[in-house]
Each structure stands twice: as C-alpha cells, then as structure tokens.
Amino acid sequence: MVALAVADPITFPAVGASLDVEHISHAFDIDGNVLPVLDDVNFNVKPGEFIALLGPSGCGKSTLLRLVAGLEPPRSGVLLEDGEPVTGPFPSRVVVFQDPTLFPWRNVWDNVALGLEAQGILKSQLHRVDAAIDLVGLTGFRKAYPHQLSGGMAQRVALARALVNDPRILILDEPLGKLDSLTRITMQAELVALWQRKGFTTLLVTHDVEEALFLANRVIVFSDRPARITADIAVDRPYPRHRGDPRLAELRRNILGLLGLDATW
C-alpha cells in the first residue's frame, strides 16, 4: 500500500469494505425514560457502494452512523465490516460531520494531518497530507487557520482530513447540510468524483431527497423514531447524473410519498 502511495501520491489505494447492519436496535436513557431510536435495522452494503440514508429529522439516522463509526456500541445487533465485528472507532471508518469541527488551534495542514499523527505514522507519510489537501482543491491554504476559511472550504478540509486516512468506509453525516445551495451543488459533484476515483464505500445521511438521488446507488428510507427501514430503493442511473433526469424526478416523487410529503406534488 505504501509503495503504491509513493508511486502515485494522488491516487489513494483505498478499496471499499462491505458493511452488514444486522438487527441493530438502540435506545437512549433520558431522565430515566428509555427512548428507542433504532428498531431492528437490517441492511447490507456491498464494497464500494454509495448508500444514502433518508428519513424525517431526528429519526435516528445519525445515531446509526455513530454506531457504524464505533463511537457507541449498539444495545443489540451486530455491525460487520468485511465480516469482522465493529468494536470501536478505527480509521478505516471515518466520519465527516455536519459541522466541519476543525481544531481551531491547528492550521489546515495540521488539521488534515490529525489522523496520521494520532496513529503515529505522520513522519513517514507527510506526502499523503499534501496529496489530500490538493485533492480537495485547497493547495494554497495549507497555512490558513479555520477561522479564516469559508464554510465550504472548512468542509473541504474536513473531507481531506477524512480521506488522508484512506478510509474503506466513508461516513458522511449531512456534510453539506449547512452550506449555501451553490456550494452544495459544486461539492455534490466533487463527492461523486472522489468516490468514483477512490472506490470507498460511502454511507451518507441527508435530508435532501434530490441530493440522495444525485449521489447514491441506493437510497434507504427510514420511518419516524424509532427508525425502521420503510424502503430500499436502487437508483439505476449511470454517473454523471443530471438533475433534470425524468427517472430521478419519478423516484423523488415516490420517496416524498414514502415520507408522507406527497401532498406537495
């Protein structure tokens, strides 16, 4: 892997992992009351697939991502990455959150280097940091501090900070949710390009039906809390996709119907 990376520092040798979500249920204790958030969620992701998770606000999609990332153990059920159970956080599964959560005391370069530094391999892998920064188009901003960046640039840094670890599963928790609509459209296209180039498995939580259809191979629709899967829809259109595609419009209508919003059509 290292040899490959040296030979071509732009291409990361990441290959997507499969993910099996088996009978996952989860709940929170809030002031002594048990609040169920996930109810027997079951689905399988093939290596390199791009999955979008759609559902009403607060239904528990983000909680599912935290479980996949290994930040919390589920109450019941198993998560398997390439057949191996997930027991804790690991840099093969990296999360990009809705807020960029860059460390304000580190400049762009040091923020992107965070993962390699935490794993103790930064000294021998400096070129990967530069390559990741180039990849998201921030070559001139290595020394900039987070407070000097726009929202879109900050989110690009967060993306580079994730990609520098060569994740096998990239977990995106509404990463474009707080960006303005023009930046969002640009970054959606960039995400597709990155995903096609790297081949990592992607799990994207979003509220935006159009975004889900523009990006994903499959859209999994969740019910209100506690979240259950109500539909698993294959988006059978080639990339690059066009926002005006009548097939996508049809799928959009179906999904809005599943979410109980068909009255808007």
Partner 1 sequence: MSTYSESRAVALPQSAEEGAAFAGRRLSFPASFLVNGTAVLASIAWVGFGLSCLWWADLADWPRTHPLAVAAFVIAGGILAATLGANWLGRFGPALQQRAPWLLALGLFLTLWEVATAKFAWLPLPFFPPPQAIIEVYTDDLPKLLDSVFASIKLQLGGYAIGAAVGFLTGVSIGWSRNVGYWVHPVLRFIGPLPATAWLPFAFFTFPSSWSASTFLIALATGFPVTVLTWSGVASVNNAYYDVARTLGAKPSFLVLKVAIPAALPHVFVGLFMGLGASFAVLVVAEMIGVKAGLGWYLQWAQGWAAYSNMYAALIVMSLLCSGAITLLFRTRDRLLVWQKGVVKW
Residue ranges that bind partner 1, judged by CB under 8 A: 66, 69-71, 89-91, 93-95, 97, 99, 101, 103-107, 114-115, 117-119, 145-147, 161, 165
Contact 63, 38 (CB under 8 A): yes
CB of 173 to partner 1, least distance (A): 10
Taking each helix axis from N to C terminus, what angle separates 151-163 and 126-135, rounded to the nearest 10 degrees? Answer: 140
Closest of 105, 115, 108 to residue 143, by C-alpha: 108
Contact 94, 162 (CB under 8 A): yes
CB of 50 to partner 1, least distance (A): 19
Phi, psi of 180 (to 5 degrees): -70, 160
Q: Which is nearer to partner 1, 131 or 221 (CB)?
A: 131
Q: Which is nearer to partner 1, 19 or 94 (CB)?
A: 94
Distance CA 190, CA 156 (A): 10
CB of 72 to partner 1, least distance (A): 10
Q: Which is nearer to partner 1, 40 or 145 (CB)?
A: 145
SS3 42: strand
Q: Which is nearer to partner 1, 123 or 147 (CB)?
A: 147
CB of 171 to partner 1, least distance (A): 8
Phi, psi of 185 (to 5 degrees): -65, -45
Distance CA 259, CA 265 (A): 13
CB of 63 to partner 1, least distance (A): 13
Output b/e per residue, 239-263; b: 16+ Cβ within 10 A. eebeeeeeebeebbeebbebbeeee
Query: What residue has token string 């958030």?
Result: 37
Q: Which is nearer to partner 1, 143 or 247 (CB)?
A: 143
CB of 107 to partner 1, least distance (A): 8
Q: Which is nearer to partner 1, 47 or 91 (CB)?
A: 91
CA angle 138, 8, 110 (to 5 degrees): 35
Q: Which is nearer to partner 1, 169 or 235 (CB)?
A: 169
CB of 162 to partner 1, least distance (A): 8
